[in-house]
Structure 1
Amino acid sequence: VVGNSTEGALLLWLEESGISYKQLREQFPEVYQVHFNSERKRMTTVINYNGRLIVLVKGAPEVVLGNATQILGNDGQLRPITEQDLARAQEFLQDSASQAMRTLGFGYAVLPPDTPTDEDILHERRDEIERNLIFVGFIAIRDPLRPDVKQAVEECQSAGIKVKMITGDNVETARAIAYDVGLLDRRDAAIDVEGATVLTHDRFEELYEKWSALYRKTPRSEAEQKELEKYEEQLAGMQVLARARPLDKLKMVELLQTRQEVVAMTGDGTNDAPALKKADVGLAMGIAGTEVAKEASKIVLLDDSFSTIVKAVHWGRALYENIQRFVQFQLTINVSALTIAFLGPFFGVEPPFTVLQLLWINVIMDTFASIALCSEPPRPGVMKQKPKRRDENIVTPAMFTTIMSTAAFYVVIMITLLLLMKYTGIFARQEEQKILDAGKVTPTQAGVFFSIYVFFQIFNLINCRSLVPEESGFKGLGVNKAFLGIAGTIMVVQILITEFKPLADIFKVGTLDLQEWIYVLLITPTVLLFAESARRIRLAKTGRAELAPAPASA
């Protein structure tokens, strides 16, 4: 079915009943039509039926019944509609709605013979011609839930994402659907009462107007502030809004944004465009959505599936964490390199890094590192975390502690190494004695110093896979072949820079022998031991803090 699913269901029903819709359209030409919208909640068509104008109305059953004065009985006879008829119809409608079925009422009226056929005149009289209808009946349509919707809602809830359903369906249908997908825990959840999470448009509008009036008022008394918070909590706690009007979505977005919440809104109609534009993330339906809705959105769902949104959140969180990993890695390098370069002259040695070495460390090597860290697959617990606050820093307290502690470890090791090179001549070769006597770092010492620092970063890539004390950087390391391949590539290139004489001369380092490489490979993995020890200590402290009794109140 292409287009509106409700219209498609009706056409399929006609086809299955052996009735040709195209033939009927050709036999009874359309004179005038008003399309359905969420304000009118009905669609009206005027046709020419054997020389007489007939108005056909379909829409919300309560709207059609409200404009009806007669009913077409089972015997095919017309009779005035009674309170008993209305009560019986309401009973059937509630029963259908409680089964999560959408209901659509039908009515018609024979217009007077002198009714003009001019479309503009009919448009002016559209409210008049929709009165005194003959109620024919209603149909109930079930739009089966996709099998993955309930699981997707559960994943959203476990991820701290609050899902709200805003629909034009009547409240009984909306409540039943919300129960089926897991938004409500009771099929008979309260409606429009104090503290209810299921609201109709009228109740929502009443609460919103009261909240809006108090929100705009400044200053507010203590009593008014409490009233404002009460209305805000009830509106923000709403889970289902039924018989919604076009502006209801926009109002809901604005209210949630005043609470500093990040709001994503889905929609498919032209009337949804303001809310889609206002939301932090607007998601339009790619199949059923209008072009206006797509233009107003930031994301278009090609399959119109709610579960696709959950997948997008999943991958978005994984990407955010990978960016955090790279930021942690990059800042560790920058803080340590800057500190070492700054402290070097104070210890009587020339700056240990050349411009070209820093270029390799901070630009070229980091490019490979970013690819390695961004190739990390989503970790299993990523959808169990709470959403990020709008003002939350990308560098978390745990990351800051890791950055500063690891950078301090680098500084201590590297400055100690510099002092040993200066005062003991370690790693200096006999032919470089004159350079050493002049108080300078020899090419071989520079090569060892440069290689140790780079290999420290390579091993620290593993540490940076962990963003919290609860997880080790070694967890799942063997699964990510791309990560291991890139880390190995950086090692090989670093060895080539040091051992290939033309490259070594460019980088102003000396080539290293086997013994010196053994020292490099013995010293640099210590950063793994340091990071794991620091992680376990922090984890133990966190555990003790959670187990410690709360202080007694005075």
Structure 2
Amino acid sequence: MRHFDREDEWEEVEADDLEAQLSLVAIVGIEDPVRPEVPAAIAKCQRAGITVRMVTGDNLTTAVSIARKCGILPPAPGSTHADGSVAVPINEHTRNQLHPDDSSATGDISEYDAADDDDDDDDDNNSARASPQSRLLRRAQGHLHQHAGTFGQYNTFESASHQPDNGPPVCIEGPEFRRRVLDASGNIIQAEFDRIWPHLRVMARSSPQDKYTLVSGLLGSRLNTNPEVVAVTGDGTNDSPALKRADVGFAMGISGTTVAKDASDIILMDDNFNSIVKAVMWGRNVYDSIAKFIQFQLTVNLVAIITATLSAIIIEKSALTAIQLLWVNLLMDSLASLALATEPPSEDLLKRQPYGRNKALISRIMLRNILFHSLYQLGVMFTLIFVGDKILDIPNGRDNSDDHAPPTQHFTIVFNVFVLSQILNQINARHIHNEHNPFKHCFNNWLFLVILAGELAMQVIIVEFGGRAFSVTPLTGMQWGFCIVLALFVLPVGALISWIPVGILPKRLSIGRKPPTKDAEGSQWRKLWFRSTKRVQTQLRVVHALQDNLYRHRHRVSETYKALRRASSLRRDSGLHQQYQQQ
């Protein structure tokens, strides 16, 4: 600002002198603030074992500042954490404590410099004849290096161990990233890429091709036993290759382009990062629901098949009739699947590591639960079949081999205990991660409790009123109490089974661990198929649009013709009326 004594004095000043003798009044900056829910959402992702990386076209200083506010990078030294503690930089002693076996972790370089010592020497020799812009950039880098704390020190990527947690996080610029990981032909140097990506958290001044390169390199990496599962967010047309290449592509529903939405797998209708966390939570919940049902279904089928087969062989009569097995099949397939599939997601799903690509569908924990629950239930079933009549002092049902003989209380109790055990075992089947409390979150799912109560009610009706149709006979109150108590033992037995070490089962017993093989030719045929299908769909849309236009044109012509006919008829009637009046 410049002050003039007279109002028209500024008109007398030469144009070249207008910008002289100015006073600085204020500096105004525009900030796009981080949404309040984003830091908490990123913290949930990190607790869930998901590494969040930011790829942006902003300069490095802005990118680092935003990453710190979001929680992708730790706070700057001297700033205050959410718990009130003060962030401090990682010094040499602390780094040695964190990585005592990593001799290269003490390598201290900036991401602007190459990892080779020769490049650092060249930069020092050329600093004197650098341009003003270069000197300004170097001063900014020095300031960032001095105050960035953890992110002023970058790993040299020469570590022998490539685990993601080995070494400090890295911020890099797009040109430097391309120089490191791409060869002269533009192909990814996978060995060099594998040195960088475990530590990479922020990529600034990037291009859309850098995002695609990052996704392709992560998918092609084999550092970990389980290959990485990559998800990408994007809103622009240039992001569509990366969205298509990733395992899961998230497009923005509000700011996203049509091309980005078509290339994505999931569209975020609110453009909110917190929705990604919800998608992760629901995805894990769906996977767990499938695993719960498989665990429960295999237990039921194993007990039912072995009971029916061995009883038919030993006593020449199946302890479970065909109608009873049909009821068990209906109960276990339809109602149980509905009960276990309606489990609402909880925050506990975000407190464990994600499943890998090669994870077995039936884990060793599930196999342990299936085997020991089946052994316990089989022991109960065969005890009831062979000595249950003596325990309860009721007539023996084993000798009653005639198909037309009336049903007995003995085998009714066997059937009743089996069904009640499976109904209560649904509570145990809700846990597939070695939880010891079978009732955890059980009362949060009202639909599960309603289905459980409905199954119990239907079982009571079948036993009391099923008669010959279900080969059952009504039971006394004492017999019902015996069946319920015996079935309730499934819950404490399940808690005890959860304490059995999983290591007693060899890893080879896991089912579904074989990694999927990539069929390049099949993949190419699928691409051609989808491309051809897309073209056909586009052509059909064009044809339908033309048909709609033709139909609307015909409709307009028809309406015009009808209007003309009505006008002609009105003129004719008017002429006849005038003739009649003249006569």
- Would you say same fold, with TM above 0.5? yes
1:534 aligns with 2:497: yes
Structure 1 SS opposite 2:498: helix
Aligned residue number for residue 434 of structure 2: 469
- The one of 464, 471, 482 equivalent to 1:508 is 471
Instruction: Mark the CA change 1:231 to 1:295 in structure 2 (over 3 Å): closer, same or farther.
Output: closer
Query: 1:390 is aligned with what amino acid?
Result: R
Instruction: Mark the CA change 1:428 to 1:207 in structure 2 (over 3 Å): closer, same or farther.
Output: same
1:457 aligns with 2:430: no
Instruction: Mark the CA change 1:425 to 1:74 in structure 2 (over 3 Å): closer, same or farther.
Output: farther
- Between the aligned partners of 2:17 and 2:439, the Cα distance in structure 1 is 74
1:185 aligns with 2:53: no
- Between the aligned partners of 2:337 and 2:400, the Cα distance in structure 1 is 38
C-alpha distance after superposition, 1:282-320 (max 9, x if no partner): 100000000110111111001101111112212222332
Query: 2:458 is aligned with what amino acid?
Result: V
C-alpha distance after superposition, 1:316-348 (max 9, x if no partner): 223322332222211111121122223223323
1:518 aligns with 2:438: no
Whether the 8 Å CA contact 1:281–1:298 is kept in 2: the answer is yes
Deviation at 1:236, TM superposition (A): 4.0
Q: Give the unaligned 5+ runs of structure 1.
A: 1-71, 78-95, 97-138, 217-227, 543-554
Deviation at 1:210, TM superposition (A): 4.7
- Between the aligned partners of 2:302 and 2:398, the Cα distance in structure 1 is 32
Deviation at 1:212, TM superposition (A): 9.3
Structure 1 SS opposite 2:30: strand
Taking the TM superposition and a 5 Å limit, the aligned residue runs for 1:220-299 are 229-259=191-221, 260-299=227-266
Instruction: Mark the CA change 1:202 to 1:446 in structure 2 (over 3 Å): closer, same or farther.
Output: same
- Between the aligned partners of 1:440 and 1:472, the Cα distance in structure 2 is 45
1:300 aligns with 2:267: yes
Aligned residue number for residue 444 of structure 1: 409
Whether the 8 Å CA contact 2:53–2:201 is kept in 1: the answer is yes
Instruction: Mark the CA change 1:427 to 1:264 in structure 2 (over 3 Å): closer, same or farther.
Output: farther
Higher relative contact order (CA 8 A, sep 6+): 2
Aligned residue number for residue 316 of structure 1: 283
1:159 aligns with 2:55: no
Aligned residue number for residue 182 of structure 2: 209
Q: Give the unaligned 5+ runs of structure 2.
A: 1-14, 21-26, 78-108, 116-154, 156-168, 222-226, 506-583
Instruction: Mark the CA change 1:205 to 1:427 in structure 2 (over 3 Å): closer, same or farther.
Output: farther
TM-score by length of structure 2 reads: 0.62
Whether the 8 Å CA contact 2:297–2:332 is kept in 1: the answer is no
Instruction: Mark the CA change 1:339 to 1:186 in structure 2 (over 3 Å): closer, same or farther.
Output: same
Whether the 8 Å CA contact 2:364–2:502 is kept in 1: the answer is no
Query: 1:192 is aligned with what amino acid?
Result: Y
Structure 1 SS opposite 2:472: coil
Structure 2 SS opposite 1:244: coil
Structure 2 SS opposite 1:265: strand
Taking the TM superposition and a 5 Å limit, the aligned residue runs for 1:38-437 are 75=18, 141-185=30-74, 187=76, 190-193=110-113, 194=115, 195=155, 197-210=170-183, 229-259=191-221, 260-420=227-387, 429=395, 435=400
Instruction: Mark the CA change 1:350 to 1:212 in structure 2 (over 3 Å): closer, same or farther.
Output: farther
Structure 1 SS opposite 2:283: helix
Whether the 8 Å CA contact 2:55–2:206 is kept in 1: the answer is yes
Instruction: Mark the CA change 1:350 to 1:441 in structure 2 (over 3 Å): closer, same or farther.
Output: farther
Whether the 8 Å CA contact 2:406–2:468 is kept in 1: the answer is no
The answer to which structure has the higher strand fraction is 1
Query: 1:324 is aligned with what amino acid?
Result: A
Query: 1:316 is aligned with what amino acid?
Result: G
C-alpha distance after superposition, 1:454-476 (max 9, x if no partner): 00011111212222334311223
Structure 2 SS opposite 1:173: helix
Aligned residues: 396
- Between the aligned partners of 1:74 and 1:504, the Cα distance in structure 2 is 109
TM-score by length of structure 1 reads: 0.65
Structure 2 SS opposite 1:266: strand
- Between the aligned partners of 2:309 and 2:292, the Cα distance in structure 1 is 26
Instruction: Mark the CA change 1:305 to 1:213 in structure 2 (over 3 Å): closer, same or farther.
Output: closer
- Between the aligned partners of 2:17 and 2:385, the Cα distance in structure 1 is 100
Instruction: Mark the CA change 1:318 to 1:73 in structure 2 (over 3 Å): closer, same or farther.
Output: farther
Instruction: Mark the CA change 1:540 to 1:207 in structure 2 (over 3 Å): closer, same or farther.
Output: closer
Structure 1 SS opposite 2:33: coil
Structure 1 SS opposite 2:232: strand
Taking the TM superposition and a 5 Å limit, the aligned residue runs for 1:2-21 are none
- Between the aligned partners of 2:399 and 2:293, the Cα distance in structure 1 is 42
- The one of 442, 459, 476 equivalent to 1:494 is 459
Aligned residue number for residue 443 of structure 2: 478
| Deviant stretches of 4+, over 6 Å | 211-216, 437-441, 539-542
Query: 1:358 is aligned with what amino acid?
Result: L
